Amino acid sequence: LNDNPSLYKITLSGTMKSPKINFDPPFLMLMPVPLDVKTETAISIIPEDYLRQSRIQVELPELELDDGDRIYPLSVQFPEGQDIALSSDGTNEELICHISFRSSRPMSFLGNMFFIDEEEN
């Protein structure tokens, strides 16, 4: 620059995308079943804008019963794994998650399940 910094100016601009996940379906309603019978459904987890592999963890709701017992009536399984991967075309591959409910006591509830990546998003 020959000691004259005003001759050259560089302007950079960019867009930052935060990783996110979407769900299909976005809400889940499991059908009533007899006691100790499992009901199950599958959902698709659709990751977007993940630039590197990440692993999904799930926080399940804990329920307190009338007698004070605490239970986790929901469970999840990822039959094809729970790692978000980048495909060859730069997009993220969809994950399948099986969600099931089983209880030996009569109940109904409304709760949230939290799906969290390695960076706690």
b/e string for 66-102 if b means 16 or more Cβ within 10 A?
A: eeeeeeebbebeeeeebebeeeeeeebeebebebebe
What domains, with CATH codes, occur in the chain? 20-116 (2.60.40)
36-50 tens-digit pLDDT: 999 999 999 999 988
Which residue stretches of the chain have pLDDT < 50? none
| Res 40: pLDDT | 94
Residue 18: per-residue pLDDT? 85
